């Protein structure tokens, strides 16, 4: 399982190692998360912060997260899922600020 981290890996070393060490029939589960969505006016402010304020400081690998890892050639069969995974939280303003401060750009 790789959760919100595949974009940091050396793909030329990681995928062959998965192939070498995984049992026949094993699954490689890879997932990441998108920008949070609250309501349109707040989403617009967060999007501006993401793109314009810290956007210039994101590492190049961040583009893989933005494309939902579709920009990575994963050499294993994809197993389609019938719905997107979602998480719901109720945060105070200070909790939202704390989350935004974890962004590593």
Tell me, yes or no, whether 11 lies in a domain: yes
Residues of the chain with pLDDT > 90: what percent?
A: 83
Task: Please report, for the chain, how many H helices and E strands are present, in that order.
Answer: 4, 2
pLDDT at 84: 77
Residue 50 parent element (H or E): none
> What predicted TM-score, i.e. pTM, was given to this entire model?
0.81
10 vs 80 pLDDT, higher one:
10
Tell me, yes or no, whether 68 lies in a domain: yes
Tell me, yes or no, whether 91 lies in a domain: yes
Tell me, yes or no, whether 90 lies in a domain: yes
Tell me, yes or no, whether 47 lies in a domain: yes
Tell me, yes or no, whether 26 lies in a domain: yes
Average pLDDT, the chain: 93
List residues bridging with 2 in a β-sheet.
Answer: 30
Q: Output 98-101 pairs: Cβ under 8 A, ≥24 positions apart.
A: 99/36, 100/46, 100/49
Tell me, yes or no, whether 105 lies in a domain: no
State how many domains the chain has: 1
Name the pLDDT band for 76 (thresholds 50, 70, 90).
very high
Q: 82 lies in which domain range?
A: 2-100
pLDDT at 82: 79
């Amino acid at each position: 399982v790789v959760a919100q981290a595949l974009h940091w890996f050396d793909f030329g070393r990681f995928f062959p190692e998965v192939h070498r060490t995984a049992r026949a029939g094993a699954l490689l589960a890879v997932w990441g998360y998108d920008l949070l969505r609250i309501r349109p006016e707040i989403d617009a402010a967060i999007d501006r912060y993401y793109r314009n304020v810290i956007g210039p400081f994101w590492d190049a690998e961040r583009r893989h997260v933005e494309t939902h890892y579709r920009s990575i050639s994963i050499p294993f069969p994809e197993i389609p899922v019938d719905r997107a995974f979602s998480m719901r939280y109720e945060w105070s303003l200070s909790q939202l600020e704390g989350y935004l401060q974890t962004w590593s750009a």
